[in-house]
Amino acid sequence: MDTTIIAILLGILEGLTEFIPVSSTGHLLLVGHFLGFNSAGNTFEVVIQIGAVLALVVLYFQRLWGVVATAGTDPASRKFIAAIVIAAIPAVLLGVLMHDLIKTVLFETPMLIAVMLVIGGVVLVLVDRMKLSEIYTDPMRLPLKTALGIGLFQCLSLIPGTSRSGSTIVGALVLGVGKRAAAEFSFFLSIPMMFGVFGYDLMKNRDVLDFTAIWEIGLGLLAAFITALIVVKWVLGYVSTHGYALFGWWRIIVGLAAIVALSLGF
């Protein structure tokens, strides 16, 4: 298949999966594996994620700018910023310590990714069926200890196939955050996390990163941006009334299909 078409398809896949709990990285790595698509230092996979996060910034620009503009005078704005920082710290520290293992071993193990898709799917289905209290419904007013708990859950996402959004959403639900608020807090947390991962990856892999295929990277980034603009709004409406079971079953089906294909030597 032509690399330009593959780049667009992977960009669409990134936009579709980045903000739902199905593991965008897992999907990208598995699909890339089966299509024979490789990029040095995972340049393509890293850069196109910025397209998705930029879509989030555009959609939430007014609310985010309001927080930044009032941080000096509004305690609630400062508390929200503190909550995001506190939630980000555990995964940042662990990610830095385990960076080489994650990139050179875990990212290169398709079977692990497939298995984690299934396990994460089962967990998501079970949590969605639990009768959990919705104590917090405003994602911008979570207690700091709840934010820290969500941040600890996020550490699980360092294993490819687990899903950053999946781990943070499950953590938020278990800690009493409402379904819509759990998704939105996960969205907000993804902004500094994804920019941080992007910057750190560029620094660590600057000697092996390959930007020669800039056309494919640009197309993938644009496709991810446009797709994510549509998906984020849909996700919030869907989870508010239907929950997360659909995404759990999606993970299980995709993971099992990948396990079978890999076992057959594909």
Per-residue pLDDT tens for 205-239? Answer: 666 555 666 788 889 999 999 999 999 989 888 99
**Who contacts 244 (Cβ-Cβ below 8 Å, separation ≥6)?**
21, 124, 127, 128, 169, 173, 179
Q: Please compute the mean of the pLDDT values over residues 72-79 and round it to a whole number.
A: 95
**Who contacts 161 (Cβ-Cβ below 8 Å, separation ≥6)?**
23, 25, 26, 112, 113, 114, 115, 116, 117, 120, 255
pLDDT at 40 over 60: no
- Residue type for 111, please? M
Q: Please compute the mean of the pLDDT values over residues 153-179 and round it to a whole number.
A: 92
pLDDT at 155 over 60: yes
